[in-house]
Structure 1
């Protein structure tokens, strides 16, 4: 079995291939820390795709960094995904509840560590259930595999690089947060963060990339969304958001358009918006 070029796979495609011994299905559902129970892991235990392992976005992180779910060291990532049964010859499909919170982040993190055989289930669990496919409950025990990461630094941006870009404007920073958050018109959900945006950034709310049925918009529609936001697909792009989760939805949409060599600002607003952080812009762009 080989993957399609598109970074998304349909529920039917996955159902047709789910028995492939090389395939690993991973539930990467994520909820904001302030969300009320049940947790994403509780939801997983109650209902998940057959054979799926649970990928905890907050656990696949640098334990020494106080910011939320910052990328871990390569060896930490290798241990984590190896324990989920992912080896370098695996074929991985990640999914979430159907809200694109979690699966695109996991997809991007695999690519950050040099793993290309990964796709996102379009519409996640919501679409899988709507198509009438079976689910299971409880934990899934999977034999561990060896995973050798190949860290791709070009896919990651840190705060000093984004600060330097304020003057050079060599890269377009595209913010996936809501327009109200981007303009600083509402309080930030991350406690203690200033409202506003990175100066010079552009706003493409990740929800603008999705249809009501949890599918992603067509390539032509995606191009129109980016064009309306002033994003030039021929120039370097860095995605950002609140904490590096929904920024990956922008990365995923760009990949669907054939724009693959983009970067993600991992700290995003959870870092930039700190009281002693870099300059902030507010109001309409």
Structure 2
């Protein structure tokens, strides 16, 4: 059951009404691919929702692995988010300015570490600006607070579990990358990766879940149709994957809106799978 006190999505009007609540803490999770040639930190410094703190998915991550923005250890995560002023009683609202990349990742990450008091701003920073709501360039300091992190292993799938899933087909694997990357007709944005997809996986480009005009998630009925069109049985568990485990969380959030709170994300995603020589790859 979902905790209705902390909905997965809130809109800009709700946030405008609640942002002065000391229990509501806003984080800007904006992240851009290199080809987009945008600097998330610089954009945050220029304009952000007043009182927001910047959540850097490349800093609050496991620095010991060469794979990008992998989940850190719970203790490290707890220390880093505590420095942002987040405590276990905080209701976090994550937003970004890039089609839920990576506010959905932050939403999933907090849930992995046992924190369900997390929502995503539907429509992101664009929806906030469209309403003419105030923005700020000021850095608002917050006192460090203690945060205790748990860990939900069922929400994370690793390489060996993904290998097992491809052979036993007990879990549906859904890839959030573009159709061209999935089929292998488009090159990967990161050098050294093979093209194609994990055998047996299905494809649902994450941007199809988002309305192009409002930048918000599509209706529940439309989302259900998209997952079914991709060949997903909504009554069976799903593991979501993508390039680096970021947009996979958009698929997980979409499934959560449909009542599936158990979607796992393959953290290493295609950067890990496609970067190895001992993992099978399909094209087409």
TM-score (normalizing by structure 1): 0.96
Distance across 1 between alignment mates of 2:236 and 2:272: 25
SS at match of 2:89: coil
Per-residue displacement from partner, 1:68-98 (whole Å, max 9, x unpaired)? 0110000110011101111001110000014
**2:117 corresponding residue in structure 1:** 117
SS at match of 1:188: coil
**1:145 corresponding residue in structure 2:** 145
SS at match of 2:126: helix
Q: Which deviates the most, 134-143 or 121-130?
A: 134-143
Distance across 2 between alignment mates of 1:70 and 1:100: 18
Per-residue displacement from partner, 1:213-268 (whole Å, max 9, x unpaired)? 20100000000000101100110100000000000000010111111011000000
* Cα drift, residue 4 of structure 1: 4.5
SS at match of 1:276: coil
SS at match of 2:92: strand
Query: Which consecutive residues of structure 1, in runs of 5 or more, have no partner in the other structure?
Result: none
Could you say what the CA RMSD is over the residues aligned between the two structures, in angstroms? 1.2
Change over 3 Å in CA distance of 1:3–1:98 after alignment to 2: farther
Residue 78 of structure 2 corresponds to residue 83 of structure 1 = no
- Taking the TM superposition and a 5 Å limit, the aligned residue runs for 1:97-112 are 97-112=97-112
Distance across 2 between alignment mates of 1:164 and 1:62: 24
**1:268 corresponding residue in structure 2:** 269
**1:29 corresponding residue in structure 2:** 30
Indicate conservation of the 8 Å contact 1:192/1:275, yes or no.
no
SS at match of 1:135: coil
* Cα drift, residue 34 of structure 1: 4.6
Distance across 2 between alignment mates of 1:98 and 1:220: 24
TM-score (normalizing by structure 2): 0.96
Per-residue displacement from partner, 1:114-164 (whole Å, max 9, x unpaired)? 000000000111000001110101322111110000111110000010001
Count residues in correspondence.
281
**1:202 corresponding residue in structure 2:** 202
Residue 248 of structure 2 corresponds to residue 247 of structure 1 = yes
Query: Which consecutive residues of structure 2, in runs of 5 or more, have no partner in the other structure?
Result: none
